[in-house]
Structure 1
Amino acid sequence: MKSIITPTSLFFDLGVQNHPSIISVVGAGGKTSTLFWLAQLFHACGRRVLITTTTHMFLPETPWPIIFCHEPAKLPRQQLMQPIQVCFHAWKAPLGKARGFQPAVIDALVERPECDVILVEADGARGFPLKAPDEHEPCIPECSCSVIAVMGGHTLGEKTGADNVHRWPQFAGITGMRADVPLQLRDLIRLVQHPQGAFKNAPPTSRRIWFINRFSQCENNVDENELIQPLLQGDVDAVWLGDAQERPAITRRFVR
């Protein structure tokens, strides 16, 4: 079940054998870092990458080209042939962020043969390390071949509440937690397994990847037998452990 980690194996987890591939990232505690790491990984393997969002997103600090448009599916062929580019709908000056597209607008990109990989930040968390989705969240394109649910592993063992969990009332309702009680792995597992939890709105045919980010800071709070329960019960297709800002980003991996 635990396996060797290579780009090929990670791509298998994500179900990106076919082109184009839409990968949506949801949750909290490292979504943008995960998106940028994946962009570099795919680029290193010769894939063209387009990064976008269905919510709001800070502009990347990388030298990648950034374009604003109304319908990315109508962009000229040459524009979509860039190795890595970032695409948004509009700039929201009051937020200091760019606004993305409706999921259906991103779905339309699958008709363009120039697209290899489309990486989508499909959720917002306001910088918190954990979250539960609200009624209107997350905004996942229907054509997503995989959904990665990110959680900040450094919060395990810490007391939780509205100060470090986005949408705390929803999170408490799903996990059964009370404020100021230390977070346990079982609480994150409830979030993974609940229909209104981490993988809410994931397309039925998409592969589900549970990524515990900043894992090195919580290893002592994780029991491997407990960790793989969502895998054994079919709630996820893979569990990734690591840190999106380190290299290698994924240090342990479990698959069904």
Structure 2
Amino acid sequence: MGHRRIEGMSLLEAFGFAPGAMVAAVGGGGKTSLVFRVAAEAVERGIPALVTTTVKFTRPAGLAMPRLVMVPAESAVEAASIALAGEGGVTLASGEGERGRMLGFPPAVVDGLRKPGRLVLVEADGSAHRPFKAPAEHEPVIPAGATDVVVCVGLQVLGRPLDGRWVHRAELAAGLAGAGVGEVVTPAVAASVVLHRAGGRKGVPPGARCSALLNRVGGVEAGPLALELAKRLVDGGLDRVVIADASEGTVLEVMGRALVSAPATDHG
């Protein structure tokens, strides 16, 4: 198992995302920050980046959002190509819902957005602002063409009770982990949910890489519980685990079996 701690590494490099990829962010805390931060990093490197959703998402707090283009589903593929021809990054939505949330597209429409040389970043799950979750029957909504799925875990859940204050669909999470509602969320409990085929790995397309973001909040360093969770996830078969503050774009640790950075300037 490889292990890196590199000053100044971007999330794009940490996950090894390359032009032509489609990344679906699922799970708990960090999804919105991840897709918008990686989009900004890609644009800085000359890689066209498109951010969209198959569910709903909100504007990123404290992060720049690429120009918002709202179009009906039948016009999405053409509109994306036209918008990206004029600028490096675009946020694509089908409309605006309650509380200013942006509405997305069916997975089949999002599949059509993937093109060579372009990075497509998709928020494909909801967590009701909880740092951790287990998916319901209708979740997540991952496009079949996703090349990468990133399961997000907000590190503030570790050491907290497995209940509705900290975990979205706590009863489902408890069942997947073989734990009781209200028990402490240990690295073992969190890893059991993330690695479960009905949990974090649910709906991952065949052949897609499955990684995890362990997202810190508030500038706290990655502690032993986070490192233990990362090791359990890599040992359990995830391709890569990144401990980072996605909002800040600060990468603390990277663990994985193959740690080769993405070709950051290849966008032909």
TM-score, length-normalised on structure 2?
A: 0.84
Q: Report the Cα distance in structure 1 between the residues aligned to 2:149 and 2:65, rounded to whole angstroms.
A: 26
Give the match's secondary structure for 1:154: helix
| One-letter code aligned to 2:247 | Q
Note the C-alpha offset of 1:91.
1.4
Q: Report the Cα distance in structure 2 between the residues aligned to 1:222 and 1:24, rounded to whole angstroms.
A: 22
Contact kept, 8 Å, 1:156 with 1:218, in 2: the verdict is no
Cα distance per residue 1:111-136 (max 9 Å; x no partner): x45x6111100001111111100001
Q: Report the Cα distance in structure 1 between the residues aligned to 2:247 and 2:11, rounded to whole angstroms.
A: 20
1:97 to 96, 101, 109: 101
Give the match's secondary structure for 2:197: coil
Partner residue, 1:142: 144
Contact kept, 8 Å, 2:80 with 2:90, in 1: the verdict is no
Q: Report the Cα distance in structure 1 between the residues aligned to 2:51 and 2:123, rounded to whole angstroms.
A: 8
Partner residue, 1:28: 28
Give the match's secondary structure for 2:127: coil
1:156 to 155, 158, 172: 158
Q: Report the Cα distance in structure 1 between the residues aligned to 2:226 and 2:156, rounded to whole angstroms.
A: 11
1 or 2 for the larger relative contact order (CA 8 Å, sep ≥6)? 2
1:184 to 165, 183, 186: 186
Q: How does 1:1-256 map to 2 (within 5 A)?
A: 1-3=2-4, 5=6, 10-11=12-13, 13-16=15-18, 19-60=19-60, 62=64, 64-70=66-72, 71-75=75-79, 77-81=81-85, 82-92=87-97, 94-110=98-114, 112-113=115-116, 116-214=118-216, 216=220, 219-222=223-226, 224=228, 227-234=230-237, 236-247=238-249, 249-256=250-257
Contact kept, 8 Å, 1:13 with 1:207, in 2: the verdict is no
Structure 1, unmatched stretches of 5+, are: none
Note the C-alpha offset of 1:85.
1.2
Q: Report the Cα distance in structure 2 between the residues aligned to 1:176 and 1:85, rounded to whole angstroms.
A: 42
User: CA distance change for structure 1 residues 36 and 153 in 2, over 3 Å: closer, same or farther?
Assistant: same
Q: Report the Cα distance in structure 1 between the residues aligned to 2:150 and 2:43, rounded to whole angstroms.
A: 19
User: CA distance change for structure 1 residues 223 and 144 in 2, over 3 Å: closer, same or farther?
Assistant: closer
User: CA distance change for structure 1 residues 32 and 155 in 2, over 3 Å: closer, same or farther?
Assistant: same
Note the C-alpha offset of 1:233.
3.9
Identity %: 28
Contact kept, 8 Å, 2:55 with 2:105, in 1: the verdict is yes
Cα distance per residue 1:205-246 (max 9 Å; x no partner): 11111111117466143454x642332342x10011121122
Contact kept, 8 Å, 2:80 with 2:92, in 1: the verdict is no
Note the C-alpha offset of 1:159.
1.6
Give the match's secondary structure for 2:136: coil
Note the C-alpha offset of 1:109.
1.6
Q: Report the Cα distance in structure 2 between the residues aligned to 1:59 and 1:116, rounded to whole angstroms.
A: 22
Note the C-alpha offset of 1:95.
4.1
Q: Report the Cα distance in structure 2 between the residues aligned to 1:4 and 1:167, rounded to whole angstroms.
A: 33
Cα distance per residue 1:75-128 (max 9 Å; x no partner): 274312221111101111x34311100111010122x45x61111000011111
User: CA distance change for structure 1 residues 56 and 218 in 2, over 3 Å: closer, same or farther?
Assistant: same
| One-letter code aligned to 2:232 | Q
CA RMSD of aligned residues (A): 2.3
User: CA distance change for structure 1 residues 60 and 153 in 2, over 3 Å: closer, same or farther?
Assistant: closer
TM-score, length-normalised on structure 1?
A: 0.88
Cα distance per residue 1:149-207 (max 9 Å; x no partner): 10011111112202221111211111122222221000111012211011210112111
Q: Give the length in aligned residue pairs.
A: 248
| One-letter code aligned to 1:126 | A
